[in-house]
Amino acid sequence: MKVIEKILESTAAGEAGKVVFSFEFFPPKTEEGVENLFERMERMVAHDPTFCDITWGAGGSTADLTLEIARRMQNLVCVETMMHLTCTNMPVEKIDHALETIKKDGIQNVLALRGDPPRGQDKFVQIQGGFACALDLVEHIRKSYGDYFGIAVAGYPEAHPEVIESNGLATPEAYAKDLAYLKRKVDAGAEVIVTQLFYDVDNFLKFVNDCRQIGITCPIVPGIMPINNYNGFIRMTGFCKTRIPSEITAALEPIKDNEEAVRAYGVHLGTEMCKKIMASGIKTLHLYTLNMEKSALGILTNLGLIEETKISRPLPWRRPTNLFRLKEDVRPIFWANRPKSYITRTAGWEQYPHGRWGDASNASYGALTDHQFMRPRARDKKIQEEWVVPLKKFDDISEKFMKYCLGQLKTSPWSELDALQPETKIIDEQLASINLKGFLTINSQPPVNGAKSDLPTVGWGPAGGYVYQKAYVEFFCSGEKLNALVEKTKAYPSLTYIAVNKDGNLVSNVGKNDVNAVTWGVFPAKEIIQPTVVDPASFLIWKDEAFEIWSRGWAQLYPEDDSSRSLLQEVQNTYYLVSLVDNDYINGNLFTVFSDF
């Protein structure tokens, strides 16, 4: 979706319109830095920014990395992504390669920039076969790609740094010329203006008014850079030739060597700047994060735009912002804790389920690859610490699963998430109990009968709605325990199950095409939404991944001749994976069937 559409959609209600915010990130220099950025980004995106953008890098130095980060942001982090694109060292063939790449990845937004001079050069020089300025780039995108892309451009409240003189000011003539050039970029097809960082709010508001006076009507998004440390602030404002009001200098001077005090002042200053901007009627804020989260989130918290303890969910899972998946609203529950794996395994689908799951046998899941079992380095280290311990008997394995359900372990080989789902707390004691009985749980949800959609633990969807779900638990167990469980379920007609071992031997009391909606919601002026289902066909696909995690996600972390590794492989080869649903979401108790084990 285009950023301009999202901004207009959110802010259209005049005085009552919602204030929206966005974040900027840059490509880190190391692989570990990239993984750390994505962990931070996941936390920040949970607060529902309108979009996030990723910079291109001086002189196009991070082009390939920027393209890869943008792809992951849009399709795996699931945030509307705007990619910077510059003219520096970029012949038109490279520019088109970048645009075609992000188009293929379902990205619709570009911030078109001329770019800074290449490293070691003082002035920008147009390369052969390239463009001279951002206007050329905007014109090329519109001519070659029509209206597919939403285009943003940079605006400079104090004029472009190259026309700012030694006294820190641009001449009135240079400022007017810069404004006229900005209007030419908008007239050529730019739809949003994102400003250079500034600290003089009055000057920014004058800039907005000046833009309006010459006929620029598109949204002008203020770029806010929180002050995180004094030296970085001085370096950045010097590079951008940003004017620093005297009161800011006076406030920073006594505390410049106290990094914590500087950061606290930066949050305070950013908050006050945004309050003044918002009071003027502007309802968009863009935060230059410098890949740090605390200051940006601190400002938004102070403004009342986010609550750390209250994160809304449009669906029980985060939908990719990829253009091709915008209407997707139904998924099998099995990948609830491995959403990135599900996204990659369904990336080739021509259509995504909307409204109803439909005939899943028509959709072909991608094969398992190394990608499904790769983990960020920090997560891999944590799993090593928490799960790679001597395992002497099956009870040692059960204890690990039990501790994870109680929150005593922060990671699980079967989960990509940073923590348990909040709703797990409702049934954590019951889960712990059945794990100690040899039913090793990897996915679950409690029953819900008409909870308000804004309830922090189980709520999702628009305000004013009610959500429902059937109790569900998915686990591994031995063939002996499965046989006993199947016998017991005969006394509980509301229970349905599907069980399969690694070799594909199936035990079930449902038909192969019996899709069971286990989560649904009722909302004002909408049809019923059922975002989570138990689908037998998809379960047989998922089982290969679930069983493979025993070896590639856990056993392989031990030395080859380690007895713990052998014990895990025995479980993998002999146990069943079971999906169990209690269809009585009003009076049922799924855990009763486990009581006599």
The dihedral built from the CA positions of residue 534, 316, 423 and 365, taken in this order, carries a sign that is positive
What secondary structure letter does DSSP report for 123?
S
Query: For residues 63 and 455, what is the distance between their CA atoms, to the nearest angstrom?
Result: 42
Nearest CA-CA partner of 330 in 105, 517, 76:
517
Using an 8 Å Cβ cutoff, are 556 and 458 in contact? no
Query: For residues 452 and 468, what is the distance between their CA atoms, to the nearest angstrom?
Result: 9
Which residue type, as a one-letter code, is found at position 239?
Answer: F
- Bridge partners (DSSP) of residue 91 are 130
Query: For residues 93 and 169, what is the distance between their CA atoms, to the nearest angstrom?
Result: 38
Structure token digits, residue 104:
């293929």
Query: For residues 480 and 426, what is the distance between their CA atoms, to the nearest angstrom?
Result: 29
Residue 371, CB-side half-sphere exposure with 13 Å CA sphere: 13
Structure token digits, residue 373:
């079992």
Burial classification of residue 312, based on how many CB atoms lie within 10 Å of its CB (0-12 exposed, 13-18 middle, 19 or more buried): middle
Rounding to the nearest 10 degrees, give the CA dihedral for residues 75, 534, 440, 345.
Answer: -30
DSSP string for residues in 528-581: -EEEEEE-HHHHHHHHHHHHHIIIIIIGGGS-TT-HHHHHHHHHHHH-EEEEEE
Using an 8 Å Cβ cutoff, are 323 and 109 in contact? no
Q: Active-site residue numbers?
A: 24
What secondary structure letter does DSSP report for 156?
-
The dihedral built from the CA positions of residue 429, 594, 412 and 532, taken in this order, carries a sign that is negative
Query: For residues 342 and 319, what is the distance between their CA atoms, to the nearest angstrom?
Result: 11
What is the distance, to the nearest Å, from the Cα of residue 124 to the centroid of all Cα atoms in its chain?
A: 35
Query: For residues 182 and 442, what is the distance between their CA atoms, to the nearest angstrom?
Result: 54
Nearest CA-CA partner of 383 in 413, 418, 407, 408:
413
Nearest CA-CA partner of 500 in 517, 484, 477, 516:
477
What secondary structure letter does DSSP report for 526?
S
**Number of H-type helices and E-type strands within the chain:** 18, 19
